[in-house]
């Protein structure tokens, strides 16, 4: 499936080969929470390449452009709240000229993976993740690439919402710090080698 930008509006900005979107809630209140690990991975990727994420009101995102092995990568963190992440996608696609959903990488937290585990995939369901639901609705497809960062499930019957919006501690915090770095590694691998090769590398359990 190929995405088509709505209407005949011309592309704005620099074309990109890949668009990576890290999901997070905005504001200091949510900084460092489990739900924000995707946005944190984008921050790490920007810092590695000497880039600075700048707020772009038209795109409803903080945005930068980096180059990985000759691949131009637009990296973004929506400035909307998580549940409205998809609002950033149409203007980001217009700006970057990207149409193929396999050229879109969404980095997000995943309750169904144990803390610190990383898994890459193309397409699939949304497993109740409201940020993914919003993006799939905006794109009208679920066939985009994902970098899933495991955060595990709350102990007992704890509420998922309060769990994802809280900050990890101790060993779990250390595991997620490593996972954020590995998510940035995975993004670079996708850019340099393609999603299939990256899945072969990062989906192997150690």
pLDDT in tens, the chain (206 residues): 445 444 435 555 679 999 999 999 999 999 999 999 999 999 999 999 999 999 999 999 999 999 999 999 999 999 999 999 999 999 999 999 999 999 999 999 999 999 999 999 999 999 889 999 999 999 999 999 999 999 998 887 666 788 999 999 999 999 999 999 999 999 999 999 999 999 999 998 65
Give the three-class secondary structure for 118: strand
- Amino acid 65: pLDDT: 97
Strand pairing class (145-150; 118-122): antiparallel
Q: What is the CATH number of domain 18-202?
A: 3.40.50.1470
pTM of the model as a whole: 0.92
Q: Is 129 assigned a catalytic role?
A: no
Return d(Cα 6, Cα 54) in angstroms, integer: 25
Tokens of 152: 């595990």
Direct distance between the N- and C-terminal alpha carbons of the chain, in angstroms, rounded to an integer? 34
Per-residue pLDDT, 5: 45
pLDDT for the residue 160: 72
- Give exposure, 10-30, as e/b (b: 16+ Cβ within 10 Å): eeebeebbbbbbbbbbbeeeb
Q: Choosing from 35, 49, 108, 129, which is the catalytic residue? A: 35
The residue extents of the domains of the chain are: 18-202
């Amino acid at each position: 499936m190929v995405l088509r930008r709505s209407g005949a509006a011309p592309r704005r900005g620099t074309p990109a080969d890949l668009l990576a979107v890290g999901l997070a809630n905005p504001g200091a209140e949510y900084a460092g929470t489990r739900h924000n690990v995707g946005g944190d991975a984008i921050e790490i990727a920007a810092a590695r390449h000497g880039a600075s994420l700048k707020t772009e009101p038209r795109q409803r995102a903080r945005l930068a452009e980096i180059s990985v092995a000759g691949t131009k990568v637009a990296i973004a963190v929506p400035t909307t709240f998580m549940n409205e992440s998809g609002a950033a996608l149409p203007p980001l696609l217009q700006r970057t000229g990207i149409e193929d959903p396999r050229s879109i990488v969404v980095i997000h937290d995943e309750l169904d993976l144990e803390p610190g585990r990383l898994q890459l995939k193309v397409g699939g369901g949304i497993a109740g993740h409201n940020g993914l639901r919003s993006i799939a609705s905006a794109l009208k497809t679920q066939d985009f690439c994902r970098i899933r960062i495991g955060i595990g499930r709350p102990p007992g019957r704890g509420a998922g919402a309060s769990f994802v919006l809280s900050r990890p501690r101790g060993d779990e915090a250390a595991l997620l710090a490593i996972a954020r770095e590995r998510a940035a590694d995975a993004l670079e691998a996708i850019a340099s080698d393609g999603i299939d090769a990256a899945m072969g590398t990062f989906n192997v359990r150690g």
